[in-house]
Amino acid sequence: MDKRIYLLTIVAFIVGMVELIIGGLLDLIAADLGVSLGQAGLLITIFSVIFAIGAPVLLVATANIERKRLTLISLFIFLLGNLVAVFSPSYTVLFISRIISAASASLLIILCLTIAANIGDPKYRGRSIGLVSMGVSGSLVLGIPFGLILGNMFGWRAPFVLIAILTLFSMAGIYFFMEKVAPKPQLSLGRQLATLKDRKILFAHLTTFVFLAGHSILYTYLTPFVKTTMGLDGTWVSIIYLIFGIAAVSGGGIGGTLSDRFGSKRTTLITIIAFGIALFAIPYTTFLLPLFLIVMAAWGLMSWAITPAIQSHLIESSPETSDIQQSLNNSALHFGIAFGSLIGSVAIEQASVEQNPTVGGMFVIIALGTALISMARERKRAYI
C-alpha cells in the first residue's frame, strides 16, 4: 500500500481533532469569555453544521485546482482559523474562528479520503479509505480527553496552539512528500447531484445517516447510561470511553481490510447486522461489567467499520462522481450524529436513558433496510 496514505491519515487526525477538542473545556471558555455554557456549546454545533454543509460545496467550487496545491491552501486557512482561536479576545471572534476552521477542515477531510482512494492500488482502496477513517475516528474519539488534559493544565487556548504547530508540520509533510495529484474531470454540479436520483446512491447515503443516528442515540448519552444502569463512578466512565475509543479507531482499518477482501456490499451488511446485535444486547449486559465491556467494544468496533465499506460502494457505483459522493457521505455522517443526539434527548425525556440502546437499535434496523435497497438495485442491474 502507498506510504503516502499514512501521511494523509495523520493530516486527517490533526484536522479532525479540532471539532470536539473543546468539548471538555466549555466551562473554561464560558468563564473566560463571559458567556453561558449553552453559548459555549454552540461552538461545537456551528462547527458540525458548517462541516456538513461546507464539504460538498467547497469540493465543487475547487474542482479544477490541483489536489496537492489545494491541500496546502486548505491547511494554511485551517492554520489561520486556529491562530484566530488562540488570540480570540471575545466569544464572537472565537465563533468566527470555528467557522473558518470547520470550512477548511471539511474540505481537507474529503481531500484526504479522495486522494487516498485514487493514489494507491485499486485493490487496496478499502484499506486506504479505512486508514484515513481511522485518523478521523481517532480524532473524534480522542479529541475531548486530549483537549481536557491540555486545557486544564495550560488553559483552553493551549489545544489550539498545539493543533497550529501540528498543522505546520502537516504542511511540511505534504509539501515535501506528496506528489502532485491532478483533479478529476468534473461533471456539472447539476449532473453530480442528479446521481441522487439513482436509488442505490441515495439509499447508500441514507444508510450512513440512519446508521450514525442510531449510534449517537446511545453514544451521546453513554455517561448517564452507564451511571444510571451500572452505578459507575467517573473513573470507570473514563475507562469505558478509552476502551470504546480504541475499538472505534480500530474499526476503520478493520472495515477497510474486510471491504477489500470480501467486497463492500457484504462488509456493509455484515457490519450493520453485527452493530445492531451489539446495540440491542447492551441493556442486557449491564449486570456484569466484563460482559458489558466486551459487547461495548464490539459496538465501538462496528461503529466505524462501516465507513470504508460504504465509501467503496459509492466509488464502485458512481466512479465518475466519486469525489462528490464521498463528500456527501461525510455530510450524511455528521447530520446523522446531530440527528441521533436530538432523538436521544427526546428518548430520555419521554422514557429514560435506559431505553436509548433499544431506540438506537430500531434505527439500525432501518439502516439495514436502506442498505439492502441500495445493494438490491445494483444486483438487479448486474443481470441486465
CATH number of the domain enclosing 232: 1.20.1250.20
Same domain, residue pair 170 and 23? yes
Please tell me the total count of domains within the chain: 2
| Tens of each residue's pLDDT in the chain, 384 residues | 677 889 999 999 999 888 777 766 777 888 999 988 778 878 877 888 888 888 888 988 898 899 999 999 999 999 999 999 999 999 999 999 999 999 999 999 989 988 887 777 777 777 888 788 788 777 767 776 777 778 878 999 999 999 999 999 999 999 999 888 888 766 666 666 677 788 889 999 999 999 999 998 888 788 788 888 998 876 787 788 788 888 888 888 888 888 888 888 999 999 999 999 999 999 999 999 999 999 999 999 998 889 888 988 888 888 878 778 888 888 888 888 878 888 888 888 888 889 999 999 999 999 999 999 998 854 444 433
- Regarding whether 196 and 47 lie in a shared domain, the answer is no
Q: Is residue 219 part of a domain?
A: yes
| Domain, as residue range, for 154 | 4-177
Length of the chain equals 384
Question: Are 10 and 142 in the same domain?
Answer: yes
Instruction: Check whether residue 120 and residue 193 sit in a common domain.
Output: no
182 within domain boundaries: no
Q: Is residue 183 part of a domain?
A: no
C-alpha cell at 319: 466512479
- Tell whether 194 and 336 lie within a shared domain: yes
| Residue 116 shares a structural domain with residue 253 | no
What per-residue string of b and e applies to 30-40 under the rule 16 or more CB within 10 Å gives b?
bebbebeeeeb
Distance CA 322, CA 319 (A): 5
282: helix, strand or coil: helix
Q: Report yes or no on 184 lying in a domain.
A: no
Please report the pLDDT score of residue 1 as a whole number: 63
CA geometry: angle at 14 spanning 119 and 6, to 5°?
Answer: 30
Give dist(CA 308, CA 133) in Å, integer: 7
State the alpha helices, DSSP H only, in the chain.
4-20, 26-33, 37-61, 67-86, 91-119, 125-154, 158-177, 189-194, 199-219, 222-230, 234-262, 264-281, 289-317, 322-350, 356-382
Looking at the structure, do residues 285 and 333 belong to the same domain, yes or no?
yes
Residues 13 and 39 in one domain: yes
Asked if 368 contacts 269 with a C-beta cutoff of 8 angstroms, the reply is yes
